[in-house]
Amino acid sequence: MTDDCGSKEVLKEYYIPDYILIPEAERDGVSFIPECPLIVFINSKSGGQLGRELLVTYRAILNKNQVFDLEENAPEIVLQKLFTSLETLKRSGDYLAGEILKRLRILVAGGDGTASWLLGVICDLKLPHPPPVATVPLGTGNNLPYSFGWGKKNPGTDRQSVEAFLNKVKNAKEIKIDSWHIVMKMKAATNDLCDPIAPLQLPYTLHAFKRVSQVDTHDTDGYHTFRGGFWNYFSMGMDAQVSYAFHSQRKLHPERFRNQLANQKTYLRLGCQQGWFCAPISHPSSHNIAQLTKVSVMKKSGKWEDLRLPQRSIVCLNLPSFSGGLNPWGTPSGKKSNERDLTPPYVDDGLLEVVGFRDGWHGLVLLSPNGHGTRLAQAHRVRFEFHKGAAKHTYMRIDGEPWKQPLPADKGTVSIEISHFGQVTMLATPGCKAKSFNGPSSHLSHPNRFNTSSAISDDENREERRKFGASDTFRLPGNISPTRPS
């Protein structure tokens, strides 16, 4: 072991030696097998100064070459190099590399958008051994960390706090969660275009479309097309507008947003100013999402049904946490579940919970023990269609990342379709909020459980199409064939 870790024997269970991380490095004589080898990604801009402080601490107590600043390192490049090295060494008979490949875990520190970015990369790289992911809460909402038991508050950045967190990661259980693919198309009218979104305004997980293959029908002439994915929620309407105002102010004055409690107070103030609790003149009813879009859901294979919308906000929810830990779906009573064919909100059942809100006052019911939004549907797929209306734009949000969406001004259209993509593996603490269909507390039967083979056509199941767009599909070099975990 190098001197970098030699004085910190207690952390050797997380250690990855340099010869695996740096191809030109010499083997340093490491003989032990790390119990929980980690690759750490930190968004140094998240959490005010906390991201930078965490970066310093993690690099001090682990091999600094296994800790990456997302401001300086693209995760897809890091993971490509790492997995190429591990597979190559394993094929050459390196037992340590094989064990690290089998035990590897990823830790990502940042907001919900940062965590989703990493999950998109992992999905698109088609890694032979996709590692499970743990999340450190550094954002404002921190819905992903909260769902899996990692907390809502920004963690301590001192050595003791980091070591305690790492111990939880080592003992965490693996849990599968659904991934959701989103494709957004904007059709240009003949004389009055619906302008595309500037790339810098898009969330990490949405990308300008690149043709995957000649048979990929997502690429159509006359459309501006974007694709991506999410793991927590997609929302539209007033909540996304408030989030957009918050993010816009934070970009202009980042020095004012270094305290999580102060950020939450600012968020509430903006909600009042934007008309979340009382609609101002600047937000007439003609601008409500019910007047702007048609929403259809697929509850069963091949059958689309139109939804009647609330006035102000709609949320497509995958995890039981929204706006800092609230659960919009709640727990339907047995009678309502039977009458409306509703099921518990499992994170791996291939279903999105679609919930609506009339206004901020309606949203406040979530603070009560049994409060919930308007349960609109549980769906395998969701489709939004926009045509010319009174508003020139609306607001949307994916996993904490908002943007301002242009709407048609003439005969153009904007369409968004959300469909099931597959699953990723998260790390969770005991007793976390997220519940698995395969967990011990789930029901033995699930009549609405998603069936990929029946709900998605053969053409849509083509491997070459199954991408979010976060990175190029990973391919091992030369004649190395990836081995799948048993």
Predicted TM-score of the model (pTM): 0.83
Nearest to 353 by CA among 345, 341, 364: 345
Confidence class of residue 201 from pLDDT cuts 50, 70 and 90? confident
The correct answer on CATH 2.60.200 for the domain covering 179-212+220-428 is yes
- Report DSSP state, residue 322: B
Report pLDDT for 207: 79
Boundaries of every domain in the chain: 12-172, 179-212+220-428
Please check whether the two domains, 12-172 and 179-212+220-428, share a CATH topology.
Answer: no
The answer to whether 407 and 394 have CB atoms below 8 angstroms apart is yes
Confidence class of residue 155 from pLDDT cuts 50, 70 and 90? confident
Across the strands, what pairs with 415?
A: 185, 385
User: pLDDT tens for residues 6-27?
Assistant: 445 448 999 999 999 997 888 7
Give the integer Cα–Cα distance in Å for 222 and 224: 7
DSSP string, 22-74: STTSPP----SPPSS-EEEEE-TTTTTTHHHHHHHHHHHHS-GGGEEETTT--
Handedness of CA 310, 243, 371, 182 (dihedral sign): positive
Q: CA distances (Å), 32 to each of 17, 172, 485, in order?
A: 11, 22, 22
Tokens 């009647």 belong to which residue? 308
Nearest to 77 by CA among 129, 39, 38, 32: 39
Rank 200-204, 218-222, 357-361 by mean pLDDT and report only the highest. Answer: 200-204
- What does CATH list as the number for 12-172? 3.40.50
Which is more confidently placed, 452 or 370?
A: 370
